[in-house]
Amino acid sequence: QTAATPAPAETWLPTLQVDTPQQGFDLAIVMARRAVKTTQPDVAVLKAQRPHYAGDAARLIDVSGVAAAWFATIAAANGYWRD
Amino acid sequence: QTAATPAPAETWLPTLQVDTPQQGFDLAIVMARRAVKTTQPDVAVLKAQRPHYAGDAARLIDVSGVAAAWFATIAAANGYWRD
Amino acid sequence: QTAATPAPAETWLPTLQVDTPQQGFDLAIVMARRAVKTTQPDVAVLKAQRPHYAGDAARLIDVSGVAAAWFATIAAANGYWRD
Amino acid sequence: QTAATPAPAETWLPTLQVDTPQQGFDLAIVMARRAVKTTQPDVAVLKAQRPHYAGDAARLIDVSGVAAAWFATIAAANGYWRD
Amino acid sequence: QTAATPAPAETWLPTLQVDTPQQGFDLAIVMARRAVKTTQPDVAVLKAQRPHYAGDAARLIDVSGVAAAWFATIAAANGYWRD
Amino acid sequence: QTAATPAPAETWLPTLQVDTPQQGFDLAIVMARRAVKTTQPDVAVLKAQRPHYAGDAARLIDVSGVAAAWFATIAAANGYWRD
């Protein structure tokens, strides 16, 4: 892999299949954060933003709504772990 | 379990299956709050935020929307408790 | 039931099954408001908030979106009252 | 029907079944507005709010999102008018 | 059609069926904008609002979320164009 | 193709079918951004807006919610990549 050829994309999401709802919840958090990082790759900027959401009720409520949206898809993907 | 090895993750969500819609509603509230706590583990910070949402119409409406999103998935997971 | 043992939880949501879409709409409003009350049980606080949402276009639009989210699940639970 | 007995609830939503997507869109607008009116029955208040949403980009975008949520359920209820 | 009788409603949404996902995306934009226009028919007012959303990150993000909600229904209506 | 006849629309979304969840996630980002660009085609304006969302916690959370909405449809379109 030379400077000219771009690094192969990192495989971070091989599947939506996980064993338990709790792992599904954790994957939802991963995907939610990944969408943020895709928009803002600069970790320093993200860390500087933490006080603006982690200590703000409105933002924390929004975060839960976003996690719910990602989780809904993951749960459907896993047949709601019924069996 | 030594200081080096991290504590095994607490199992808080073994299943999405609950017996009644009311239990499904309660689980939705649990999951909604868990997503907040995953983002902000510091309970003192969360408690300090309570006046900013529990006495604010806009935030209370947002909370209900978030609960609805979690409940939608739980209800689907339980076949809407039809049988 | 003694002071020590907590009162049994009130059964307010025995089922999602209702006869008509209009009853489904009404149940959606009940569930939306219940999520608010679960977060803020103090009725006096809720009543004090009424001017902040019942006379505010942005909040009223949000309320309708939240009702739609609850209604979507109730409608699915009732097979959209097709039969 | 005496003053003591409340007026029977007006039947405004007998069914979700409509013939065309356009009627489904119109019903979504009706349901969205009904949820607002259920929260704020005072038409004078609602009319006074019109400048605050009908001339505000943010609110108009929110309105479209809310209509989409109601329409999604109506469309599913009608099998997406495929046949 | 006389002044007394209202003009027959224009048929703008005969079906949700379109041939490709891209046409589905375009229809989602049409439906999203139609919901805005149903609320604010005055095109001059809408045009005056353009700077308030077309040059505002928060509003542009909201617009994308609204388009996603309309698209979700159109995609389901078309069986996700799988065949 | 003459000045009179409009350029044929660029085909950017031939299908929702992609091979992996990660490609589905990437397509969701593409579609989310496309909806923004459909509303605001002026790339210079979009770039000028970047500081207003890429360094703002509230906006970054909104972006993740929008990505989740697009991803939900793409995942359903691909049968959640189960097979």
Cβ of A77 within 8 Å of Cβ of F82? The answer is: yes
Q: Give, as one character, the DSSP assignment of residue E16.
A: S
Write out pLDDT tens, residues D12-47.
Answer: 999 999 999 999 999 999 999 999 999 999 999 999
- Chain A interface mutation, best of B46, B49, B71, highest count of A Cβ atoms under 10 Å: B49
Structure tokens at A44: 């320093």
Domain residue limits at D72: 25-78
The pLDDT score that the predictor gives to residue B83 is: 78
CA distance B23 to B27: 6
Write out pLDDT tens, residues D60-76.
Answer: 999 999 999 999 999 99
Kindly list the residues from chain E whose CB atom is less than 8 angstroms away from the CB atom of residue D21.
13-16
SS3 category, D82: coil
Of F53, F55, F64, the CB nearest to A35: F64
CA of E68: how far to CAs of D72, E5, E57, in Å?
A: 11, 38, 17
Cβ of F76 within 8 Å of Cβ of E71? The answer is: no
Average pLDDT, chain A: 93
C65 → chain D, closest CA residue? D66
The pLDDT score that the predictor gives to residue F80 is: 98
CA distance C83 to C81: 6
B78 → chain C, closest CA residue? C77
Of E29, E65, E80, the CB nearest to F69: E65
Q: Which whole number is the average pLDDT over F29-54?
A: 96
C55 → chain D, closest CA residue? D45
Residue in the structure block whose two tokens are 């499904």: B24
- Chain F interface mutation, best of E46, E60, E63, E83, highest count of F Cβ atoms under 10 Å: E60
Residue E77 placed within a domain:
yes
Cβ of D55 within 8 Å of Cβ of E38? The answer is: no
Residue B74 placed within a domain:
yes
Question: With 50 as the cut, is the pLDDT of residue E76 above it?
Answer: yes
Kindly list the residues from chain F whose CB atom is less than 8 angstroms away from the CB atom of residue A15.
20-21, 81
Of B22, B58, B68, the CB nearest to C70: B68
Question: C43 exposed, middle or buried (CB, 10 Å; 0-12, 13-18, 19+)?
Answer: exposed
Chain length of chain E: 83
Kindly list the residues from chain B whose CB atom is less than 8 angstroms away from the CB atom of residue C11.
22
Give the list of residues 6+ apart from residue A64 with CB closer than 8 angstroms, or none: B32, B33, B35, B36, B39, B66, B70
Q: Nearest CA of chain F to the CA of A50: how many Å? A: 7
Number of helices (H), then strands (E), belonging to chain E: the values are 3, 0
The pLDDT score that the predictor gives to residue C6 is: 61
- Radius of gyration of chain E from its Cα atoms, rounded to whole angstroms: 16
Give the list of residues 6+ apart from residue A63 with CB closer than 8 angstroms, or none: A32, A53, B35, B36, B39, F61
Q: pLDDT grade, residue F44 (50/70/90)?
A: very high
Structure tokens at D5: 């007995």
Of all helices (H) and strands (E), which one includes residue C20? none
Question: With 90 as the cut, is the pLDDT of residue F82 above it?
Answer: yes
Residue B14 placed within a domain:
no
Q: Which whole number is the average pLDDT over C46-56?
A: 95
- Provide the angle, in degrees to the nearest 10, between the axes of the packed helices E21-39 and F21-39: 40
- Chain B interface mutation, best of A26, A47, A56, A60, highest count of B Cβ atoms under 10 Å: A60
Cβ of D58 within 8 Å of Cβ of E52? The answer is: yes
Closest to C66 measured CA to CA, from F69, B68, B75: B68
Interface TM-score (ipTM) > 0.90: yes
Structural domain total, chain F: 1
Q: pLDDT grade, residue A83 (50/70/90)?
A: confident
Residue D59 placed within a domain:
yes
Contact F77, E80 (CB under 8 A): yes
- Chain C interface mutation, best of B29, B36, B61, B71, highest count of C Cβ atoms under 10 Å: B61
Contact B52, B59 (CB under 8 A): yes
Amino acid of residue C76? A
- Provide the angle, in degrees to the nearest 10, between the axes of the packed helices D57-77 and D43-54: 110
SS3 category, E14: coil
Q: Give, as one character, the DSSP assignment of residue A78.
A: T
> Cα angle at E67 between E61 and E68, to 5 degrees?
90
Closest to F64 measured CA to CA, from F72, D60, E27: F72
Q: Nearest CA of chain D to the CA of C10: how many Å? A: 25
Asked whether C and F share 3 or more beta-carbon pairs under 8 angstroms, the answer is no
Residue D53 placed within a domain:
yes
CA distance A21 to C19: 32
CA distance D76 to C18: 18
